[in-house]
Chains A and B, each alone.
Chain A
């Protein structure tokens, strides 16, 4: 094959022509011996119209002191210069080059040039992203943001953890994130269950008590989101915790406001009705007894007329205090309207209910309210007691009301048990 030598040479030439990295062989004085097209593609725009015979001249805009560096290089061989990022503008566009200059021996030097503009742009984007996230982590208020491994180990610390929970880096790094949950949640393996759920469905949210470093707790809304890697496999989780203590407190207050009679602190009629309905449902399902009392202050209009409305209000409050002192915490007292109250006694039969009612009646008669200036306001109550026979709230209330009416017409300051039907 007479052509094989030339063919092989041409293949080699083509290989060097197309090498995507710039390679220059040059002498100590900068004279270029060999240079491939990629090197010239990158060098020519730096100093246009130069003959490209001396590397120092061509690189002057980027590394003005390259000749000096080579002159002062004392090792027999090795890297004279390693510049991973040399910024320049070419034809109006930003270009980033990496340059390595190596001494092969005292007469042969090699320069490797690469266009790393794209890489530099990617790194810049990643850096910018990191800065953005850092800014978010460090400056959000009322949120803590951190990442945990597949097994729930905290992988990074940032200022948000300090701000929301007072946690320092040493407290959390390498520790299980379960430490941020209440003991009850930890005992119930709730943190691990949340990770499993987040892994399955991508994201999970849960409200509950979260721990601060000083052992105090706050009401937190925790959102856990799985972090897939570029292949789509879950490698970690990001956890965002929002301090909801203020909102929780406001909700609790609102709930209280919407269920409580503002004057006496007893429950209001709406809430009392709902609780009664629940209790009757429970009784229908489980057969556990429940008793209902309807209670009314005797001749309340006289008290108002004689002592004024303000004293009348004081009597209402005294009634509630006395009742609460007599009743258990499971019992429910609601102001039904005016001077009328309803008491619900769970797990209580007819006989015990009559005992409780009589105790309340006696306590009221024995506890007068101070009048303005001097004297006391003595007052009594009449009570109708009924136990339900159906789950119908209105039915048991109507029967208790009839028993109350009977107590009133029977002379007041007494307790009457409703007849069965």
Chain B
């Protein structure tokens, strides 16, 4: 069963996968602890951004990996909302090129991890 960007219950599905399973997905996945430290960084996201998972995992995502998300549209929502499942249009500056993407913000009260899914538009 393939996991898709827009399927229902995406947070549950992502949480159940190991790193290798996340790497085969066609869209980017960033998993974080509740305070924003990167725990998962899959191959699709790594290709888009040009960064190796080993250089990203363990860093704070919003301030030390992707500062373009460190505003009230993305980071602020993760920091303040207890539960989110929302898809927004956004622009990443991947390799300094403005790149239109869709972001799916996933967070649920009681869970230990939150996820950001990234799909090119």
A: residues with CB less than 8 A from B are 9-10, 13-14, 16-18, 20, 32, 34-42, 44-45, 48-53, 90-91, 93
Contacts and interface: CB of A to CB of B under 8 A. Distances in A.
A40 B100 CA distance: 12
B50 A9 contact: yes
Interface residues of A: mostly helix, strand, loop or mixed?
A: mixed
Contacts of A13: 49-51, 95-96
A34 B68 contact: no
Given A10-B55, A44-B71, A49-B89, A16 B96 contact: yes
Contacts of B71: 41-42, 44-45, 90-91
B110 interface: no
B72 A41 contact: no
10 contacts: A10-B55, A13-B51, A17-B93, A32-B98, A34-B96, A35-B96, A37-B69, A45-B72, A45-B73, A91-B72
Most buried by B among A14, A40, A91: A40
Interface string B20-33: 00000000000000
A36 B95 CA distance: 8
Given A34-B97, A53-B98, A41 B67 contact: yes
Interface in B28-80: 49-52, 55, 64-73, 76
- What is the size category of the interface that chain B forms with chain A? 20 to 34
Interface of B: 49-52, 55, 64-73, 76, 89-93, 95-98, 100
Nearest to A42: B71
B66 A10 contact: no
A356 B92 CA distance: 110
Given A9-B50, A35-B93, 7 more contacts: A10-B52, A18-B64, A37-B68, A40-B98, A41-B69, A45-B73, A91-B72
Interface centre among B67, B92, B100 (most CB of A within 10 A): B67
A38 B67 contact: yes
A42 B70 CA distance: 9
